[in-house]
Amino acid sequence: MPFYRSIRSRRVRRKPKELDLQLTSMMDVMVIILVFLLKTYSASNHNFSTLPGMKLPTSGSPDVPADSLHLIITPEAITFENQRIVEFVQTAASLGDTEGGYSFKTIDLREDGRQIVPLYDALVRAREKAELLRAKSRARDAQGNPLPFDGVLAIQADKRVQYDTIRRIMYTSATAGYKVFRLLALRKEI
Amino acid sequence: MLKRPSSRRRSSTAIVQINLIPMLDALVTLIGFLLFTLSYLALVHVETLMPQVSSEQLEQQLKEKPLQLTVSLREGDVQVWSPFEKFATKVIPNTSEGLPDVQAVHRAIVEVKQQFPKETKVVLAPYGGASYDVLVSLMDSVRVVEPTDPPLFIKNEKTGNDEPIKMLFPEVVFGNLLGDS
């Protein structure tokens, strides 16, 4: 038996449904994420990175470091501004040792082992570059002279690095014109 | 005469819809950029200055005999002392794990701060084999005020009011950069 549609149902033709996504709620979420990211973004004004496998100590200090020249010390090497400048000699005791046994190459040291030669050269180059940029900059002090070199060095060391190494680095940096050292650590979660 | 057709069917309220897709595109791009460039490393710093001594300053110091709070980190213990004997020397032995007892050092430092609230400098003299981890924890113990510490106040010279002390001895200087002498 043939199927006949009623006259009323013939008249009302169903329109194909339009797929209408509700974007308003998604926009709300996006805006919240954006505000959060912008707020967090403004808080970190440094560009410090770390090396893979590096273990940093934690500190309860409230001071957040500003951007400056950056030195990374691991039991394997010293890296200054992303350039590996000193390689340590791994001592026999360091193989599988958690204390990180290492020593400097004799050729890298001078002044009775206090000064690290490649580090001194790199620091002097960086200071000269910074002073040149300051001389070309329009920023001047009250007397119209270029702003003096701030001499700030951020030191980021592995937990296992010994004070003897840090002492040599600080001495070398001081002879190269750096007077302020910022020892970096991870923020302690309270 | 024909009846006027009903207006009910024809009067449809127009829904105003804002095109959110370009805005969403911009937001996704911005969030992607921020996530990519965001620094996830929550770093803090402990500042230390290179010690500088002038002959005039030294003469003045010898006349006045300042506190010159010194924390000597040795292999077996930590010594909190003053070269001018402004307070009794304290020797704090290491913990059973062989690490410096930073809590005990902190308590000793708080006691010194109670006696000398205006003093801000401390000289640190660790032995060569001390690890960076130990150095940072020791520097924290002499600088940062813990919530469990007894209340520490300092008189503001301008206002005459007592104000809480926020840092113990924030100016840390290493006293043996030239060697273990």
DSSP class per residue in chain B: -PPPPPSTTT--PPPP----HHHHHHHHHHHHHHHHH-----EEEEEEE-----HHHHHHHHHH-----EEEE-SSEEEEE-TT-SS--EEEE--TTSS--HHHHHHHHHHHHHH-TT--EEEEEE-TT-BHHHHHHHHHHHHBPPTTSPP-EEE-TTT--EEE-SBSS-EEEES-TT---
d(CA B163, CA B160): 9
Name the percent of chain A lying above pLDDT 90.
41
Q: Which residue has the higher pLDDT, A2 or A163?
A: A163
Neighbours of A47 (CB within 10 A): 10
d(CA A138, CA A146): 8
Q: Which domains does chain B have, with CATH numbers?
A: 48-174 (3.30.420)
Mutate to test the interface with A, among B136, B144, B165, B169 (most CBs of A within 10 A): B136
Mutate to test the interface with A, among B16, B132, B166, B176 (most CBs of A within 10 A): B132
Cβ atoms of B72 and B79 within 8 Å: the answer is yes
Q: Give B42's Cβ-side CA count (13 Å radius).
A: 9
Computed over every residue of chain A, the mean pLDDT equals 84
Reference B50, options A169, A107, A161, A178; nearest CA is A178
The predicted structure's pLDDT at residue B42: 80
pLDDT digits (tens, 9 = 90+) for A113-131: 889 999 999 999 999 999 9
Neighbours of B48 (CB within 10 A): 20
Query: pLDDT band at A74, cuts 50/70/90?
Result: very high
pLDDT digits (tens, 9 = 90+) for B83-114: 888 899 999 999 999 899 999 999 999 999 99
Considering only CB atoms, which residues of chain B are within 8 Å of chain A?
A: 20-21, 23-24, 27-28, 30-31, 34-35, 37-39, 41-50, 52, 126-133, 135-137, 139-140, 143-144, 146, 174, 176-179
Which ranges of A45-116 does DSSP label H, i.e. alpha helix?
A: none
Note the pTM of the prediction, 2 decimals. Answer: 0.77
Cβ atoms of B138 and B124 within 8 Å: the answer is yes
Mutate to test the interface with B, among A163, A182, A186 (most CBs of B within 10 A): A163
Can you read off the two tokens belonging to residue A62?
């409230």
Q: With CB atoms and an 8 Å threshold, state whether B131 touches A159.
A: yes
CB neighbour burial string for A4-31, b if at least 16 within 10 angstroms, e if fewer = eeeeeeeeeeeeeeeeeeebeeeeeebe
Cβ atoms of B36 and B54 within 8 Å: the answer is no
C-alpha distance from A151 to closest chain B C-alpha (Å): 10
Q: With CB atoms and an 8 Å threshold, state whether A163 touches B129.
A: yes
Residue of A nearest to B43 (CA): A186
Nearest to B44 among A61, A73, A161 (CB): A61
Task: Please report, for chain A, the start and end positions of each structural domain, with discontinuous segments joined by +.
Answer: 58-187
Instruction: Provide the number of CB pairs (under 8 Å) joining chain A to chain B.
Output: 153
d(CA A137, CA A146): 7
Cβ atoms of B118 and B83 within 8 Å: the answer is no
The predicted structure's pLDDT at residue A80: 94
Computed over every residue of chain B, the mean pLDDT equals 85
- For residue A39, pLDDT over 90 is answered with no
| β-bridge partners, A181 | A153, B48
Q: With CB atoms and an 8 Å threshold, state whether B133 touches A114.
A: no
d(CA B175, CA B150): 29
Q: With CB atoms and an 8 Å threshold, state whether B39 touches A46.
A: yes
pLDDT digits (tens, 9 = 90+) for B147-169: 888 988 888 888 888 888 889 99
C-alpha distance from A71 to closest chain B C-alpha (Å): 13
The predicted structure's pLDDT at residue B159: 84
Nearest to A41 among B38, B128, B129 (CB): B38
d(CA B171, CA B162): 22
Q: With CB atoms and an 8 Å threshold, state whether B48 touches A33.
A: no
d(CA A41, CA B39): 8
Neighbours of B50 (CB within 10 A): 17
The predicted structure's pLDDT at residue B74: 92
Using a CB-CB cut-off of 8 Å, the residues of chain B touching A181 are 47-50
Residue of B nearest to A23 (CA): B20
Q: With CB atoms and an 8 Å threshold, state whether A27 touches B24.
A: yes
Query: pLDDT band at B51, cuts 50/70/90?
Result: confident
pLDDT digits (tens, 9 = 90+) for A49-67: 788 888 999 999 988 888 8
The predicted structure's pLDDT at residue B141: 94
- Determine the average pLDDT of the residues in A156-167: 92
d(CA B92, CA B79): 6
- For residue B11, pLDDT over 60 is answered with no
Residue appearing with tokens 């127009």? B14
Q: With CB atoms and an 8 Å threshold, state whether A46 touches B24.
A: no
Q: Report CA-CA distances (Å) from A14 to A10, A11, A17, A18, B118.
A: 10, 9, 9, 12, 85
Q: Report CA-CA distances (Å) from B132 to A51, A94, A143, B49.
A: 16, 17, 42, 17
Q: Report CA-CA distances (Å) from A58 to A154, B52, B134.
A: 16, 29, 10
The predicted structure's pLDDT at residue A127: 94
C-alpha distance from A1 to closest chain B C-alpha (Å): 35
Q: With CB atoms and an 8 Å threshold, state whether B49 touches A182.
A: no
